[in-house]
Amino acid sequence: MAVKIIEEVKDMLPKGSEISNISFEGANIVLYTNNKEFFLDNKGVIRGIVGNIKKRVELRADPAMPLTIEKAEAEIRKIVPEGAGELNIIFDPQRSQVVIEAEKPGVAIGKAGETLKEIKKKTFWVPLVKRIPSIRSKLIENIRQVLYQNDDYRKKFLNKIGERIYGPKRKQGKTSWSRVNFLGASRQVGRSCFLLETDESKVLMDCGINVAAKDEDQYPYLSELNIEELDAVVLSHAHLDHCGLIPLLFKYGYRGPVYCTAPTRDVAALLCLDLIGISQKEAKKALYGSVDIKEMVKHTVILNYEEVTDIAPDIRLTFYNAGHTLGSSLCHFHIGEGLHNFLYSGDFNYETSNLLAPANTKYPRLETLMMEGTYGSKDDVLATRHESEDYLLGIIRSTIERGGKVLMPVLGVGRSQEVLVIVERAIREGKIPNIPVFVQGMVWDVTAIHTAYPDFFNNKVRQAIFHRNENPFLSKIFKHVGSQKEMKQVLEETGPCIILATSGMMTGGSSVEYFKNLAENNKNSLILTSYQGEGSLGRRLQQGEKEIMFTEGSKQVPLKVKMDIYSIHGFTGHSDRNQLMNFVKHLNPKPRKVIVVHGEQSKVLDLASSIHKAHRIETIAPKNLETIRLV
């Protein structure tokens, strides 16, 4: 396909650069050369082109040029210093790239990238370095395998995205309007799904499932969506109420890109696999299969924070740290060359947590903000993290003293890892006795993913890991529980301990299994730390229900709840009311309009009216199926 931008790039190339091919990788432009000297030293030509067209441009060797895989691998192993630890070397011959997975990526890269330069010079492959997670997880390895095994497909797929972005527009002329359709999570929490539309493009923001709801209330209004017209899916973060139905889009035939950060991709795949696993256990029909999750992984395009990229002919996306979970993002959309700037907050925390930095408030431009309002009402002022920590440690201490076990139902991602960090520190500092902390299946895998992306932690945690070699997640007190047999051992053969298990709202998963075994003993404690959706078992326990009916075989069996039930809200990954208000106050620049979603009706209405009063700007809390025009 003749695309204008490629012709422009060709015109900027000097004679003798021997470019054999120019293709797209998403919004990036990749040049392949047959000229060895030009490949090793292009004398600023590429920088000049980048400056000119303001797009990312990369130069690689024509696939015929590099050393054979065997020779290159031997050479790379010779060049990379031993201090880099174990290496996995994976070649992508289609793209003349080699991925070097190392235990210590910094060592593999070398001072100012000198090792990489050496590899390039000796082998003509372009090296990319990734971190081998300190905790091994079969699932992460599988995810990486899916990507490596589909190199060929990915090359074509990424080129197709570029052709759409830079190719002829569907509509001639400038983008003149833009609107958001609310397909879920409006005046409610759960099933987040919003369609950002212009006269040229359609972008879906999140596509989640509300696991606490019943039947069709679980799903967003997907029938309003024409999957074939979608240009992109943008995923703010890996929680099921935001990512849980993306594989369903692939089941229905979507084959376009899913933009997210690397940790979000990995955790989202895990959560979706876990979701279909739970359906299977409950003998319910799963919504989609693992093949659909694989398709999702195959079609993800990874972005780092603050990396600007075109995702449609008239839409540019930038992710910013949201402080909610590892890799969670506020999504900034620059629409139609300055026509409008729209920020979708996803879920965010405007506070420094034990793991993450607070949500970003500074943007190049901003006209409309669409924000969450989970804790948006005036009484949603939560205890501080410090108070919550003391409260948590107090409950753990008294439960241990009476010989009981502490069960903490957690969302696989976010709070679980924060709780691990808090408990590890408390034990190290002698604030609570040294007891084992059992980490059930999925929580362990998510923790393993955390060890693969330490760059996403806040400064303090990063310093500890990189400069003092203290990685809290590698502590010996954490024990992985994988099988039913191991779970039985925890319940029957172990004394006081802490158990972290999913799901956080106790809508299924091992947290419910543990609960059934622990509930009738008054020595034990249950600590709820995440948001409890209406109708969930967690919410019912919070409201004080003391008898719960469970289906066993064909009959209903009552369970008497005698264990202590506690709720700690301060560990939430969401901003509380004050933080929501402060976030808006500190936004720079100030938005002209604020749309509040992702909160129960009374809360989003309260927040919208308070923001209006405080800032004299237009605010609105739309209902599902409504549409709001931005321009």
- Beta-sheet strands, E only, within 161-218: 178-184, 193-198, 202-207
415 binds Zn ion (CB under 5 A): no
Separation between Cα atoms, residue 457 and residue 137, nearest integer Å: 20
Nearest to 459 by CA among 554, 357, 389: 357
Contact window for Zn ion (CB under 5 A) among 34-42, 52-60, 343-351, 462-470? 343-351
521 and 404 in contact (C-beta within 8 Å)? yes
What sign does the dihedral 446-448-454-459 (CA atoms) show?
positive
Helix (H, G, I), strand (E, B) or coil at 538: helix
Contact window for Zn ion (CB under 5 A) among 117-125, 223-231, 233-241, 288-296? 233-241
Minimum separation from the CB atom of position 237 to Zn ion (A): 6
Minimum separation from the CB atom of position 323 to Zn ion (A): 11
- CA distances to 210, 236, 407 from 505, in Å: 11, 21, 13
Separation between Cα atoms, residue 183 and residue 194, nearest integer Å: 5
Instruction: Rank residues 25 and 351 by Cβ distance to Zn ion and give the closer one.
Output: 351
Instruction: Rank residues 202 and 239 by Cβ distance to Zn ion and give the closer one.
Output: 239
Instruction: Rank residues 244 and 256 by Cβ distance to Zn ion and give the closer one.
Output: 244
Minimum separation from the CB atom of position 268 to Zn ion (A): 11
Contact window for Zn ion (CB under 5 A) among 97-105, 125-133, 202-210, 239-247? 239-247
Minimum separation from the CB atom of position 238 to Zn ion (A): 8
- Give, as ranges, the residues between 4 and 23 that touch Zn ion (CB under 5 A): none
Q: Binding pattern to Zn ion, positions 184-223, x when CB under 5 A? A: ----------------------------------------
Instruction: Rank residues 297 and 413 by Cβ distance to Zn ion and give the closer one.
Output: 413
Binding residue for Zn ion, selected from 274, 347, 424, 576, defined by CB under 5 A: 347
Q: Binding pattern to Zn ion, positions 452-481, x when CB under 5 A? A: ------------------------------
618 and 171 in contact (C-beta within 8 Å)? no
Minimum separation from the CB atom of position 386 to Zn ion (A): 23
How far does Cα 420 stand from its chain's mean position? 19
Minimum separation from the CB atom of position 597 to Zn ion (A): 13
Contact window for Zn ion (CB under 5 A) among 99-107, 153-161, 187-195, 339-347? 339-347
103 and 84 in contact (C-beta within 8 Å)? yes
Q: Where are the alpha helices (DSSP H) in 217-334?
A: 240-243, 246-251, 262-281, 290-298
Instruction: Rank residues 98 and 211 by Cβ distance to Zn ion and give the closer one.
Output: 211
- Give, as ranges, the residues between 30 and 89 that touch Zn ion (CB under 5 A): none
3-state secondary structure 407-475: EEECCCCCHHHHHHHHHHHHHHCCCCCCCCEEEEHHHHHHHHHHHHCHHHCCHHHHHHHHHCCCCHHHC
Binding residue for Zn ion, selected from 60, 144, 164, 239, defined by CB under 5 A: 239
Instruction: Rank residues 181 and 264 by Cβ distance to Zn ion and give the closer one.
Output: 264
Structure tokens that stand for 68 in this block = 């054979």
Instruction: Rank residues 144 and 598 by Cβ distance to Zn ion and give the closer one.
Output: 598
Separation between Cα atoms, residue 600 and residue 190, nearest integer Å: 10
Minimum separation from the CB atom of position 324 to Zn ion (A): 6
Instruction: Rank residues 192 and 201 by Cβ distance to Zn ion and give the closer one.
Output: 192
Contact window for Zn ion (CB under 5 A) among 73-81, 238-246, 487-495, 533-541? 238-246
Count CA atoms within 13 Å of residue 273 on its CB side. Answer: 21
* Beta strands at 97-102 and 126-131: parallel, antiparallel or unpaired: parallel
209 and 191 in contact (C-beta within 8 Å)? yes
Minimum separation from the CB atom of position 244 to Zn ion (A): 11
Residue with tokens 């002919």: 313
Find the length of the chain: 631
Instruction: Rank residues 314 and 347 by Cβ distance to Zn ion and give the closer one.
Output: 347
Contact window for Zn ion (CB under 5 A) among 17-25, 232-240, 376-384, 581-589? 232-240
CA diameter of the chain: 82
257 and 300 in contact (C-beta within 8 Å)? yes
Instruction: Rank residues 60 and 239 by Cβ distance to Zn ion and give the closer one.
Output: 239
420 and 447 in contact (C-beta within 8 Å)? yes
Minimum separation from the CB atom of position 483 to Zn ion (A): 29
Q: How many residues sit close enough to Zn ion to count as binding (CB under 5 A)?
A: 2
Nearest to 64 by CA among 150, 125, 149: 125
Instruction: Rank residues 239 and 577 by Cβ distance to Zn ion and give the closer one.
Output: 239
Instruction: Rank residues 190 and 336 by Cβ distance to Zn ion and give the closer one.
Output: 190
Contact window for Zn ion (CB under 5 A) among 153-161, 290-298, 347-355, 484-492? 347-355
Contact window for Zn ion (CB under 5 A) among 250-258, 263-271, 341-349, 422-430? 341-349
Q: Can you give the binding site for Zn ion, defined by CB under 5 A?
A: 239, 347
